[in-house]
Structures are given as structure tokens and as C-alpha cells.
Amino acid sequence: MVSENTEILFLGSFFPNSRKEEIWRDSKGPMVISADTFQQALLSGWKELGTDMSVVTIPYVGSFPQRYKKWLFKSSTFQYCGKNSSCVGFVNLVYFKRYSIQYHATLYVKKWAKKTQGKKVIIVYSLLPFYLKAALSAKAIDRDIKIIVIALDLPEYFGETNRLIPAFISKSMINAVYAVYKNIDAYILLTKHMAVHLHLTTQPWILLEGIYNDSENKVVAKSEKKVLLYTGKLDSRFGLDVLLKAFGLMDQDYELWICGDGSMKSMIQAYAEKDRRIKFHGFLKREEVLALQRQVTLLINPRQPDSEYTKYSFPSKTMEYMASGTPTLMYHLAGIPPEYDEFLVYINGLSVEDMKDTIVDWCSKEQYELNEFGAKARQFILQNKNAKVQSKRILNFISTL
């Protein structure tokens, strides 16, 4: 654990609980729920460990006017471990947004660095350049400050495309990341392949595939039907087209439920209109999604392993799915460590028929078999990847720097 004279600042982009309803109401497009869930779980773990730290968040909401109703995101305060913490505001206009976030984050970080004594550590949740530059500005106040970045995505693969440079992020932003990333003191990575890609030969790093917070876990009765469920972003990269085609080959005994939002929403709605067995639930609150995951027969992540970016991806839904106690079907992605293999059902083969055959095979099993398999996966996550365990690993890592 970190020493008592170590001061920690967490610079995040999560939604404070006191403002979630507001952000939900004002958002006009898909929200990045997985990032918020990850950060909230980390904070929950540190709180359980009694870690004294400063917390500041600049929520990464959609930009006005296309994806958010307000051009100005206002500042506010919230409580973390009994301390006043800051939710920093910014001008939420396309293009200007990144500079506003960097400016206001830099002001906060420098103020914290000036007033804080002892060993200082800043943990940054993001590889976005405006968050990185804000954190690195603290070194102008104290060059001994350690900057640790939680990198869950590489900048080339932020977007919803297979091109090297996603449509919504410019080449200049990607270059900005690689212009400063060597100045980061240490990294917390999603997969081991990220370390190779980032050429981390001297900078220390640890592998943290994800984190699961079990605080919202509830018992839900199983559906009597054979139901397959996908929850998450409706992204063209994630194999949803293959899933829809595979489901079309299955008989009338099955239902496919889909929850989420994204670019494939219209396509999925069109499939649902043609096939009444497909139920599109749209974008639901997290507690509603978790309840559905416990209710169905099987959970599926159809993301295929033939894309380069899957080496740098540990899908956040993997832990969430496993913790539900419902068996999880997915492909064997390069970013999944071997310790997960016995708790996941891997789809062998990339064809539509291969996916269909795996689904039918597992749906034909007795419910007690499915329950036993799901229970073992759930226990693995709750024991080894819970918020307290993963948050403590980060603190132990900090103590070695």
C-alpha cells in the first residue's frame, strides 16, 4: 500500500452520482457507460480500502448541439469519502471542447500541486491528449510528481471504424498522444499487447483487464424461454451483423434481446420489425441491464478476433457478463488472458453457421448445467476482479514507483 505521506489525485471523466440524471436527460446520443462504470468501481474500491485521495472529474459527455443539449457544462461539487470533490465545467462546443477541458483541468491540477506536500501521484483515466497534458502540467510545479495513466483504449482505436484513424478523431489528436506519452511515468493497461504497441521498455506497467463492482447485484428469476442477450454499444466493429444472421438460421424456440445504442441501431430495429423474436430494448439504465443479464439463457459478445484492435481490447462487458452467473459466449480474443478460458464459452470458427451451432449447442443443455457453469464464472470474478482487489493492486503498484 502507499505510504501515509503520499498524496494522490485522481483525474477522471466519470459522472458524479448527483448529476447522472441530469447528464442522462441532456444527452442526445450514446453515452460512454463502460468508462463511467470502470471509474466508479475504482473509486468504490479505494473507498472500501479507506484511501485518502483528492478526486476531480471532467465528465466526457457528447458535444453541443448534436449530442448534448447544453453548450456549457457547469461546475459543481460532490462528496467522496466525506470530502468535497470537484466536477469541473467546460465549454461543450465541438472542437473548442478539448481546449476548454485542458484549460480548466490544468488550472485544477496546478492548484492541487501547489498546495499539496509530500510525495505526489496523479492517476489519469484517459489517453486523450487534453487530459494527459493537464496532468503533465503539474510537473512544472514539482518535477518529482508521478503521472500514472489508465489506458483502456489506444488512440488509433477510439472510434467506430476499422481505419487506422477513426472518423471522429483527427490525426493531430493521435499525434498529440504519442508526442507526450513517453513523459508518463507508469501505465495501467488493459492487455499485455498494449505495452508492446506503446514501446514501454523502461516505463513500469501493470495489467488490469477490468474491474467489477458487485454493489448492484440482485437475484432475478430465469426466463422460461431460450433467450440470447447482447448488451453494449451497437458498434459496426462488434460482429452484430454476424449475430443477426446466425439468429436468422435458428428455429422459433429462440429469442434475441439487444440493449444499447450506436450506429447499428437502425439496422437492428429493421431486423426486429421483420422478426418478432428479436426484442430491441434500446438504451437502458445499468441496473436494468444487469437484471436482464441474470434473466436470460445465454449472454453473447459477437466481437470477432480477426481485427488488429482486438489485441488491445478486453471488452468491459466480459466481466459484467461473467458476474451475472449466466454463461458467456464469445470468441477467443487475443486480449483475453488464459486464466479466463475455463469460465467462457468460445465460439470455434468465424462463420455464421459456427456461431449458430455454438448457440444451439449451449441452449440445449439442462438449466442446472448452465447454472453451474455460470456460477463458477461469477465466483471467479467476485473473488479475483472485484473493486477492492483491483483498486488495491493499483495502490501497491504506486508504492513501487
pLDDT tens-digit profile of 365-381? Answer: 999 999 999 999 999 99
Whether the pLDDT of residue 32 is over 50: the answer is yes
Q: Is 369 in the same domain as 395?
A: no
DSSP E strands: which ranges in 14-69? 54-57
Tell me the percentage of the chain whose pLDDT exceeds 90. Answer: 73
Q: What is the pLDDT of residues 240-283, one digit of tens each?
A: 999 999 999 998 899 999 999 988 999 999 999 999 999 999 99
Cis preceding-peptide flag for 129 (omega within 30 of 0): no
CB atoms within 10 A of CB 146: 18
Please, which residues have CB within 8 angstroms of residue 372's CB and are 6 or more apart in sequence?
Answer: none
More confident residue, 164 or 47: 47
Q: Is 321 in the same domain as 173?
A: no
Q: Is 10 in the same domain as 38?
A: yes
> Domain count of the chain?
2
Please state at what angle helix 171-180 crosses helix 129-136, rounded to 10 degrees: 30
Residue 217, amino acid? N
Q: What is the pLDDT of residue 83?
A: 84
Query: What is the radius of gyration, based on Cα positions, of the chain?
Result: 21
Q: Is 187 in the same domain as 234?
A: no
Is residue 1 in some structural domain?
no
Residue 342, amino acid? E
Q: What is the pLDDT of residue 303?
A: 94
How far, in Å, CA of 266 to CA of 280, rounded?
11
Q: Is 105 in the same domain as 181?
A: yes
How far, in Å, CA of 234 to CA of 391, rounded?
29
How far, in Å, CA of 35 to CA of 56, rounded?
15
Q: What is the pLDDT of residue 170?
A: 59
Q: Is 150 in the same domain as 162?
A: yes
Mean pLDDT of the chain: 91
Q: Which domain holds residue 149?
A: 6-213+386-399
Q: Is 348 in the same domain as 334?
A: yes
Q: Is 189 in the same domain as 230?
A: no
Q: Is 165 in the same domain as 18?
A: yes
Split at pLDDT 50, 70, 90, the class of 164 is very low
Whether the pLDDT of residue 391 is over 90: the answer is yes
CATH of the domain at 46: 3.40.50.2000
pTM over 0.75: yes
Q: Is 171 in the same domain as 273?
A: no
Q: Is 368 in the same domain as 395?
A: no
How far, in Å, CA of 165 to CA of 168, rounded?
8
Q: What is the pLDDT of residue 125?
A: 94
